[in-house]
Amino acid sequence: MATSLTDDQIRARIDELDRDLGWYQNIDLGRGISTKSRQVWGEDLDHPRRRWGYIEHAVPKDFSGMSVLDVGCNAGFISFEAADRGATDVVGVELKSGYVEQARFCAEVRDQPVDFREMSVYAVAQLDRTFDFVFFVGLLYHCRYIERAVEAVAAVAADTVLCESAIHPDDSEIPLVRHIDRTQYEGPHAAGAARLPGNWHPNMAAMASLFREQGFASVEPAFRDGGRGAGSARR
C-alpha cells in the first residue's frame, strides 16, 4: 500500500535514519527525494550506482516469475532494482538492524513489497527455501569464514549466484585467497592511504573455484576492474 507519509515526514525520517549508521546507499524514493547526502565510508554519493553499472549486464532484464535473494542487502538498492525488473518475490537479508530499518522504510515509500530480514549470510538456510537468482554483492570479502559463506549461499541458490567482491589482482589460474589484516593498505602505506577492505580477497580463479566446489557447473567472469570483480555462478 502506498505510504501515507508526506514529503516533509519522509525527509525527517531520512534524517533520523542517517544519525546512527548513516546512509551507505543512495535510494531513489521518487518525488525528487533520495536518501544519501554524505559519504559514510568514502563511497560515491550515488553509491552503489557505479558498482551496479559493472554488474548490470549479468542481471536478467526481466525477473517476472523469478524469485530473488539479495544477501548483504544494506538499504535495499539491489532488491529494488530486481523489483523494478518485475520480481514480485524478493527477499533481502542484512546483518545490521539499522540497515534493515532503512530498507523497510524505503520499501514502504517506494511501495515495493520486498521482504527484508535481519539475518547473517551464515544463517540463510533458516529461510527454508531456494531462490532462482541470488545477489551476493559486496560481501564475500567481508566474510570471516569465506567457504562457509559460499556454502550457505549455494544451499539456497536454485540457479544463479551473481557474486561481486574485492578481488586479489593475481590473474593466474591458481586459486589464491589473500588474508587482509589491519596493516595492509592500498598502495604504499602512507598517511591518507586507505586500508584494504574486508578480511579475504580471492583472485578470480579462487572465486570460481569456491563456487564450483559447491556444485555450480560454470562460473563466468562478469567484470574485473582494479581491485573488484564479479562472476556469475550457474547450476
**CB distance 134 to 157 below 8 Å:** yes
Helix (H) or strand (E) holding 106: helix 97-110
Among 10, 29, 35, 51, binds ligand SAM (CB under 6 A): 51
- Integer Cα distance of 219 and 235 in angstroms: 9
Among the listed residues 163, 157, 162, 117, the one whose alpha carbon sits nearest the alpha carbon of residue 141: 163
Say whether residue 121 binds ligand SAM (CB under 6 A).
yes
Q: Which stretch binds ligand SAM (CB under 6 A): 5-13, 70-78, 126-134, 151-159?
A: 70-78
Residue 225 CB, shortest distance to ligand SAM, in Å, is: 15
In the complex, minimum distance from the CB of residue 1 to ligand SAM, in angstroms, rounded to a whole number: 27
Output 22 or 175, the one with its CB closest to ligand SAM: 22
Identify which of residues 3 and 224 has a Cβ nearer to ligand SAM in the complex: 224
**Of 29-37, 109-117, 136-144, 200-208: span binding ligand SAM (CB under 6 A):** 136-144
With CB under 6 A as the contact rule, the residue among 110, 142, 201, 228 that binds ligand SAM is 142
How far apart are the C-alpha atoms of 25 and 66, rounded to whole Å? 25
User: Would you count residue 95 as binding ligand SAM (CB under 6 A)?
Assistant: yes
Q: Which stretch binds ligand SAM (CB under 6 A): 58-66, 74-82, 204-212, 227-235?
A: 74-82
With a CB cutoff of 8 Å and minimum separation 6, the contacts of 133 are 59, 60, 63, 66, 67, 68, 69, 82, 159, 160, 162
- Residue 173: exposed, middle, or buried by beta-carbon count in 10 A (0-12, 13-18, 19+)? exposed
DSSP 8-class letter at 166: E
Binding site for ligand SAM (CB under 6 A): 25, 48, 51, 72-74, 77-78, 93-96, 99, 120-121, 137-139, 142
